[in-house]
Amino acid sequence: MEEDAKPLLVPVGGDESNYGIMNIQFNPEDFKCKRPFHVEPTNIVSVNDDMQRVTDEASAMNKRIHYYSRLTSPADRALIAPDHVLPAPDEIYVYSPLGTAFKVDSYTDGYGKNSSIVTIFMIWNTMMGTSILSIPWGIKQAGFTSGIILILLMGILTLYCCYRVVKSRKMIPLMDTSNWEFPDVCKYYFGSFGQWSSLLFSMVSLVGAMVVYWVLMSNFLFNTGRFIYNFVHDINVTDIVPGTNGSNKVICPGAAGGHPPQNRSVMFSSGNNTGFELFEEWWNKSQTVPFYLIAVLLPLLNLKSPSFFAKFNVLGTISVVYLVFLVTVKAAHLGIHLEYSWFTENDFFVPEFRILFPQLTGVLTLAFFIHNCVITLLQNNRNQENNVRDLSIAYFLVGLTYLYVGVIIFASFPSPPLSKECIEQNFLDNFPSDDIMSFVARIFLLFQMMTVYPLLGYLARVQLLRQFFGNAYPSVFHVLILNIAIVGAGVAMARFYPNIGGIIRYSGATCGLAFVFVYPSLIYMISLHRAGQLTWPALIIHIFIILLGLANLIAQFLL
Where among 103, 130, 162 does a domain terminate?
Answer: 103
Q: Among 75, 103, 131, which residue terminates a domain?
A: 103
Please give the sequence-ordered ranges of beta strands (E in DSSP) within 159-311, or none if there are none: 236-239, 265-268
The CATH code of the domain that includes 167 is 1.20.1740.10
With bands split at pLDDT 50, 70 and 90, how would you rate the model's confidence at 265?
low
Residue type, 22: M
Q: Tell me whether residue 263 is in a domain.
A: no
Q: Which of 517, 542, 171 is nearest to 362 (CA)?
A: 517
Give yes or no: residues 95 and 163 share one domain.
no
Give pLDDT tens digits for 306-319.
777 777 777 788 89
3 state SS of 250: coil
Position 274 in a domain: no
Residue with the bigger pLDDT between 68 and 344: it is 344
Domain count, the chain: 2
Q: Are residues 317 and 461 in the same domain?
A: yes
pLDDT for the residue 240: 65
pLDDT of residue 365: 95
Tens of pLDDT, residues 447-486: 989 988 988 888 888 888 888 887 878 888 999 999 999 9
Of the two residues 336 and 78, the one the predictor is more confident about is 336
Q: Is 361 within 8 Å of 150 (Cβ atoms)? A: yes
Type of residue numbered 113? K
Considering the domain architecture, whether residues 420 and 302 belong to the same structural domain is answered as: yes
How far from each other are the two terminal CA atoms of the chain, in whole angstroms?
Answer: 53
152 has a pLDDT exceeding 90: yes
Helix, strand, or coil here: 335?
coil
Lowest mean pLDDT among 158-172, 257-271, 452-466: 257-271
Cβ atoms of 521 and 546 within 8 Å: the answer is: yes
Same structural domain, 66 and 213:
no
Within a domain: 150 = yes
pLDDT of residue 388 exceeding 90, the answer is yes
Is residue 83 domain-shared with residue 184, that is, in the same domain?
no
532 or 11, which is more confident: 532
User: Residue 46 domain-assigned?
Assistant: no
Parent domain of 83 = 56-103
pLDDT tens per residue across span 395-421? 999 999 999 999 999 999 998 889 999
DSSP state string for 263-290: S-EEEE-SS-SHHHHHHHHHS-TTTTHH
What is the predicted pLDDT for the residue at 309?
A: 74
Q: Is residue 99 domain-shared with residue 126, that is, in the same domain?
A: no
Q: Answer with the residue of higher pLDDT: 232 or 526.
A: 526
How high is the pLDDT of residue 317? 84
> What mean pLDDT comes out for the span 94-122?
58
Instruction: Tell me what the pLDDT averaged over the chain comes to.
Output: 79
Q: Which of 176, 186, 196 is nearest to 522 (CA)?
A: 186
Distance CA 240, CA 263 (A): 9
Q: What is the reported pLDDT for 421?
A: 92
Local confidence band at 274 (pLDDT 50, 70, 90 cut-offs): confident
